[in-house]
């Protein structure tokens, strides 16, 4: 029953998180010349959007298309509304055919701005996962023509390219004599064309009014601290009864550390590599049992055992919100140096007329290093983080005949900047 409630909670959390709109500050220029600042429901669009949701707040969002919007800018990307020719393909048809010219359709679209200035470059990515590129001449948007198609060669077929776009670019960028456009260079690809336009602006010693920049990896540093609940268990086929027989009580211990987060630009920085150097103080768990020796005589065996650690934690973290904000899930590994905590075995023998006791080490040697596995869930907002994290590691035993297992649950808070 508890597992079902836990699973339901996570499903509800995911549905709620993905249903929320990712509203980001934006500037929209309308066809009537008016410019408005507000919020756009922003996505990392895999293809150019057909409409946008824009408004001053979440309550008054309205859909706008390229027939109404001249340009909009959000999160370092810019789109231009324009009526253009674009390539169309029937759903389910082969990528290649024997036609040497693309099938075109005139339509109002949002074009992604790659360069804007004296010479401009635009991109349209269709839902069928192919690209069209455009230049701007005399206020009009001109499609750069390219087509890969089949030609028959006897009983076989081969591929051939319609590279009309190369001639279009020679004329368009012709005022820079140092740019060389070869028969098969550049390719009809975004990076090749961006490189060509970068060379053009360097040639004419000008800067474009707009250039789409590559999103960069971001770093954040911080501090983390809290408490760790420790639960230790031992198992062995023979011997070690002072560790395998008693049930040890669970103990809390403080944890503190420093962190470094690497934000990956894909998926709006939702994926991060989260690194920590974490110190967890040593705990001392106790357990005992009684062994009968004879009638009226018995032995009490009490064990005190525990450990701390200095660990390098490496986790992958996925945030359901934008730029590391909101609920997150994480998982990874902990590579720790074991710090000895409690380590005492006390045997007390009680006889009719006297009592005797002796002490020794419960575990003659501790493991120096252990490996742990981490999983956590938490929430972060404006650099302030709260997290519940589970760790399973191999404990402190270095002996093959004695298995140790340490379960930890961390209750952590942190701040990153």
Q: What is the pLDDT of residues 311-367, one digit of tens each?
A: 999 999 998 877 678 899 999 999 999 998 889 999 999 988 789 999 999 999 999
- Domains of the chain by start residue, with CATH: 19-211 (no CATH), 218-287+305-342+365-416 (2.40.160.20)
CB 39 within 8 A of CB 60: no
Go through 389-410 and write b for each residue having 16 or more CB atoms within 10 A of its CB, e for each that does not: bbbebbbbbbeeebbbebbbbb
Name the pairing type of β-strands 297-319 and 271-280: antiparallel
Average pLDDT, stretch 93-122? 91
Taking the whole predicted model, whether its pTM rises above 0.75 is answered as no
Q: How far is CA 309 from the centre of its chain?
A: 27
Closest CA to 27 of 77, 82, 83: 77
Long-range Cβ contacts of 133-139 (<8 Å, 24+ apart): 133/165, 133/188, 133/190, 133/193, 134/82, 134/84, 135/168, 135/169, 135/172, 137/172
Closest CA to 339 of 398, 280, 389: 280
Average pLDDT, stretch 23-27? 90
What share of the chain in percent tops pLDDT 70?
A: 92
Angle at 401 between CA 399 and CA 403, to 5 degrees: 75
What are phi and psi for residue 172, nearest 5 degrees?
-70, -40
Q: What is the pLDDT of residue 13?
A: 52
What share of the chain in percent tops pLDDT 90?
A: 72
- Tell me which DSSP letter residue 383 carries: T
Widest CA span of the chain, in angstroms? 112
Name the pLDDT band for 94 (thresholds 50, 70, 90).
low
What are phi and psi for residue 17, nearest 5 degrees?
-65, -45
Closest CA to 269 of 14, 52, 78, 44: 44
Question: What confidence tens digit (pLDDT) does each residue in 55-68 have?
Answer: 998 889 999 999 99
Q: What is the pLDDT of residue 20?
A: 53
Q: What is the pLDDT of residue 213?
A: 86
What are the CA-CA distances from residue 56 to residues 28, 60, 62 (Å)? Answer: 11, 7, 10
Distance separating alpha carbons of residues 86 and 91, to the nearest angstrom: 15
Question: Is pLDDT above 50 for 4?
Answer: no
Distance separating alpha carbons of residues 186 and 166, to the nearest angstrom: 8
Better pLDDT: 111 or 15: 111
For residue 74, give both structure tokens: 């959000």
Question: Is pLDDT above 90 for 255?
Answer: yes
199 DSSP β-pair partners: none
Question: What confidence tens digit (pLDDT) does each residue in 127-160 have?
Answer: 766 899 999 999 999 999 999 999 998 889 999 9
What are the CA-CA distances from residue 252 to residues 249, 260, 335 (Å)? Answer: 10, 25, 21
Distance separating alpha carbons of residues 271 and 319, to the nearest angstrom: 6
Distance separating alpha carbons of residues 341 and 228, to the nearest angstrom: 15
Q: What is the pLDDT of residue 19?
A: 47
Question: Is pLDDT above 70 for 8?
Answer: no
Q: What is the pLDDT of residue 5?
A: 46
Closest CA to 259 of 415, 381, 370: 415
Long-range Cβ contacts of 244-249 (<8 Å, 24+ apart): 244/402, 245/289, 245/301, 246/287, 246/288, 246/289, 246/301, 246/303, 247/287, 248/285, 248/286, 248/287, 248/303, 248/305, 249/285, 249/286, 249/287
Q: Which helix (H) or strand (E) holds 19?
A: helix 2-19
Question: What's the length of the chain?
Answer: 417
Question: Is pLDDT above 80 for 397?
Answer: yes
Helix, strand and coil content of the chain, in percent to the nearest 5, comes to 15, 55, 30
Question: Is pLDDT above 70 for 203?
Answer: yes
Distance separating alpha carbons of residues 78 and 344, to the nearest angstrom: 67
């Amino acid at each position: 029953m508890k597992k079902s409630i836990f699973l339901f909670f996570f499903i509800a959390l995911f549905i709620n998180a993905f249903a929320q709109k990712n509203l980001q500050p934006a500037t929209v220029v309308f066809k009537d010349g008016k410019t408005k600042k507000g919020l756009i429901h922003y996505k990392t669009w895999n293809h150019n959007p057909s409409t946008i949701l824009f408004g001053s707040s979440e309550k008054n969002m309205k859909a706008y298309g390229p027939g109404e919007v001249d340009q909009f800018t959000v999160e370092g990307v810019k789109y231009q509304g324009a009526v253009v020719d674009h390539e169309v393909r029937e759903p389910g048809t082969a990528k290649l055919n024997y036609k040497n010219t693309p099938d075109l359709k005139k339509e109002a679209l949002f074009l992604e701005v790659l360069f804007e200035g004296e010479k401009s470059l635009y991109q349209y990515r269709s839902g069928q996962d192919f690209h069209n590129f455009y230049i701007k001449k005399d206020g009009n948007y001109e499609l750069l023509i390219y087509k890969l198609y089949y030609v028959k060669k006897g009983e076989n077929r081969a591929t051939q390219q319609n590279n009309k776009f190369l001639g279009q670019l020679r004329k368009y960028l012709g005022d820079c004599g140092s740019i060389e456009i070869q028969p098969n260079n550049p390719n009809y690809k975004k990076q090749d064309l961006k490189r060509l336009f970068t060379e053009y602006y360097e040639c004419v010693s000008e800067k474009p009014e707009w250039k789409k920049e590559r999103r960069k990896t971001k770093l954040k540093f911080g501090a983390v601290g809290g408490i760790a609940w420790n639960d230790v268990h031992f198992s062995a086929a023979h011997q070690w009864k002072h560790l395998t027989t008693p049930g040890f009580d669970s103990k809390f211990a403080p944890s503190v550390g420093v962190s470094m987060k690497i934000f990956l630009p894909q998926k709006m920085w939702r994926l991060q590599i989260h690194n920590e150097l974490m110190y967890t103080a040593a705990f001392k768990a106790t357990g005992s049992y009684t062994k009968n020796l004879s009638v009226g005589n018995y032995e009490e065996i009490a064990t005190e055992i525990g450990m701390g650690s200095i660990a390098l934690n490496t986790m992958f973290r996925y945030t359901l919100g934008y730029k590391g904000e909101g609920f997150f899930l994480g998982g990874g590994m902990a590579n720790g140096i074991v710090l000895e905590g409690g380590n005492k075995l006390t045997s007390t023998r009680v006889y009719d007329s006297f009592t005797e006791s002796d002490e020794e080490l419960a575990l003659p040697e501790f493991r120096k290093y252990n490996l742990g596995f981490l999983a956590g869930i938490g929430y972060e907002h404006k650099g302030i983080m709260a997290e519940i994290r589970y760790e399973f590691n191999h404990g402190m035993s270095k002996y093959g005949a004695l298995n140790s297992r340490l379960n930890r649950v961390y209750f952590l808070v942190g701040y990153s900047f």
